[in-house]
Structure 1
Amino acid sequence: MAPVLTFDIDRSSPTPLYFQLAQAIEGAITGGALPSGSKLENEVLLAQRYGLSRPTVRRAVQELVDKGLLVRKRGVGTQVLQPHVRRSVELTSLYDDLVRGGEAPTTEVLSLDRVPAPGEVAEDLELQEGDEVVVLRRLRRSHGEPLALMTNHLPGRFSPTVEELAERGLYQYLRSQGVHLRVAHQRIGARLARAEEARLLDEPPRAALLTMQRVAFDDHGTPVELGRHLYRASRYDFEATLVGR
């Protein structure tokens, strides 16, 4: 049964009625009164409850569909979607950003190996091809839902354990080793998920994924990490502030 919510619609306000309703529903979603997966009352009931026209209610609902907060499903009705994680394009770790945002991150370490560096990895980390590197692959979840599949390469002087990587973020580990991250070169793109990636991220086959490749440098200008990450486009956004010259 759809939760019954009570909102105040101010008919004397210059703010359009549809926008007031959309903001009220969005507040219920972000505040937890309408949790992920719950159903919204149908448009007829909402219109009757608040004395609004159906076109006004329909426009409010469409506003939230366009923002990725609601989805219309044939035979089911209108449901609340898992909210997107919005992350600024800064030199921070996903783990730290999720903790700051109250997103309850957990990490599953899929593999942790020491291997000879392939040519491209060696070039990015300014090593000789064949030098030993640590390669780790992790699945990051938020509130129990898969969010990102992360592959990282570190120079062989580092020795993280599975326990350390499962309990905290990679950048927390690097800071514990005396590394002060200063700058990074980062590239963001998109591609379709391969079969194993879709399975791990709980996405349909060939779903769209966001990609991020980053080389991070310490305060001596030495590369300390190469990251190649995949994010669920259905749940994740990068944000940037652009300033004109």
Structure 2
Amino acid sequence: MEEKEPSQNLDTPFILDIKLNRHSTDPLYQQILEPISKLIKNGTLAPNQLLEDEISMAQRLQISRPTARRALQELVDSGLVVRRRGVGTRVTPSHVHRQLALTSLNDDLIKAGHTTRTEVLEYQIHLATPEDVEFLNCAPDEELVTIQRLRWIDDHPLALLKNTIPSRIAPTLTELSHFGLYESLSRHNVFPTSAIQTLGAKNASKRESDILNIEPGNALFTMQRTAYDENGKVIEHGNHVYDAQQYKMTFPLVSHTN
């Protein structure tokens, strides 16, 4: 196998120069994905490097499109590449590794050296619903603010964040456009001290896939969190989804021995 030197331009597709052994017991898709996997793991292919698309690969290597598609999908499933509509197949950006802690996602990303921006998709003032009353422990007629934001990391959409907050402490639309939620709350002298958090997973809906620019049905990491102040009052309730190919949560475990 000989590979062309990767271009310094990440938007120039990398083309694997390989002669397939059609008499081998190794499937053709595996003969394609293994050398690409090696180049990604040894750092030859940089994060965000564009790869040749399946149509071009199938024509050039004289294989079927399903074979080319499977090779690329295996790379996706292994977390080595990301396939996005309109963007193509690219080497996975550096994953976001996040410790399990009561911190702001935006603050964690900035501390990790990432460039972030927030797009506020919805800022709605409304009266509490029965579900809101349950999660926020508020009165049925209390005025609340529900905010939906899209968090970007290094020019890639990472997470769709939805929070419901009592309007008396809710940050303004302007604040949320420039700062993380917890930093915005701190400007109102509101500080979360504890939270109940539930983690899970789901497949992306069409709307979620459109917003996050991923394929429909791709895996999403989910987080539901209710945060409290030092007096035990609910500050906010959040329902968030993250692109699972970019986001990881770290759980520190401690052994208790006698």
TM-score higher than 0.5 here?
yes
Shorter chain as denominator, the TM-score bin is 0.7 to 0.9
1:217 Cα offset (Å): 0.6
Deviation at 1:195, TM superposition (A): 1.0
2: CA distance, partners of 1:24 / 1:188: 29
Query: Partners in 1 of 2:237 and 2:194 — Cα distance?
Result: 12
Q: Which SS does the other structure have where 1:36 is aligned?
A: coil
One-letter code aligned to 1:176: R
Q: Distance in 1 between matches of 2:78 and 2:189?
A: 41
Deviation at 1:102, TM superposition (A): 1.0
Tell me by how many angstroms 1:109 deviates.
0.2
Query: What code does the residue aligned with 1:101 have?
Result: A
Give the counterpart of 2:226 among 188, 201, 215.
Answer: 215
Residue 226, structure 1, aligned to residue 237, structure 2: yes
Residue 37 in structure 1 maps to residue 49 in structure 2: yes
User: Cα offset for 1:150?
Assistant: 0.5
3-state DSSP of counterpart to 2:103:
coil
* Per-residue Cα deviation, 1:48-99 (whole angstroms, up to 9, x for no partner): xxxxxxxxxxxxxxxx988734589xxxxx9622221111110001100001
Counterpart of 2:253?
242
Q: More deviation in 167-176 or 112-121?
A: 112-121
Q: Secondary structure at the match of 2:226?
A: strand
User: Equivalent residue for 2:120?
Assistant: 109
Structure 1 runs not aligned, ≥5 long: 6-20, 40-63, 73-77
Alignment match, 1:190: 201
**1:154-169 correspondence to structure 2 within 5 Å:** 154-169=165-180
Map of 1:14-29 to 2, 5 A cutoff?
25-26=42-43
Q: CA deviation at 1:220?
A: 1.4
Structure 1 pair 204–187 and aligned structure 2 pair: CA distance change class (3 A): same
> Residues 79 and 125 of structure 1: is their aligned pair in 2 closer, same or farther, counting only changes over 3 Å?
closer
Q: Per-residue deviation at 1:105? A: 0.9
Superposition RMSD in Å: 2.7
1:2 aligns with 2:5: yes
Deviating beyond 6 angstroms after TM superposition, the runs of 4 or more aligned structure 1 residues are 21-24, 64-67
Between the aligned residues of both structures, percent identity stands at 39
Taking structure 2 as the reference length, what is the TM-score of the superposition? 0.69
Distance 1:115 1:4 in 2: 52
* 5+ long unaligned stretches in structure 2: 9-37, 52-74, 84-88
Is 1:133 matched with 2:162?
no
Q: 1:182 to 1:204 in 2, by over 3 A?
A: same
TM-score (norm 1): 0.72
Is the contact made by 1:134 and 1:158 (CA closer than 8 Å) also made in structure 2? no
Shift of 1:129: 2.0
Query: CA 1:201 to 1:71, structure 2 compared with 1: closer, same or farther past 3 Å?
Result: closer
Q: Which residue of 1 aligns with 2:131?
A: 120
Q: Identify the residue that residue 48 of structure 1 maps to in structure 2.
A: none
**Matches of 1:71 and 1:226, distance apart in 2:** 31
Partner Cα separation in structure 1 for residue 210 and residue 143 of structure 2: 30
SS in 1 for 2:210: helix
Aligned length in residues: 197
Q: Is the 8 A contact 2:48 2:91 kept in 1?
A: yes
- Looking at structure 2, the residues matched to 71 and 117 of structure 1 have their Cα atoms a distance apart, in angstroms, of 39
The aligned amino acid for 1:2 is: E
SS state at 1:129 partner: coil
Q: Which residue is equivalent to 2:56? A: none
